[in-house]
Amino acid sequence: MNQGFESKSRSSLNQPLKIIILRYPYLYNYLLLTPNSSTEYQQAIRKLQEQKQEKFEINLSRYITNQARI
């Protein structure tokens, strides 16, 4: 019944962490930033997070607009 979901979950587990984090960087602050992280590194991570969040919001907006047209 949930075989599709289970196979997706398994395939996600087999992917490198760097691939998964790039998809959802705003969810993994605790993995990306430590108290010892340099200021430059923190700024780079925050910039990446902002870019990914903005892209997600744009894609979500397009999806909702498309669904409203249907």
- Supply the pLDDT for residue 56: 86
33 exposure class (CB count in 10 Å sphere: 0-12, 13-18, 19+): middle
Other beta carbons within 10 Å of 25: 19
The pLDDT tens digits of the residues spanning 41-52 come to 889 888 888 888
Q: Cα 22 to the chain's mean position, in Å? A: 5
- The verdict on pTM exceeding 0.75 is no
- Residue extents of the structural domains in the chain: 3-69
pLDDT in tens, 22-41: 677 667 777 778 889 899 98
Distances (CA, A) of 52 to 1, 3, 10, 61, 67: 33, 30, 24, 14, 22
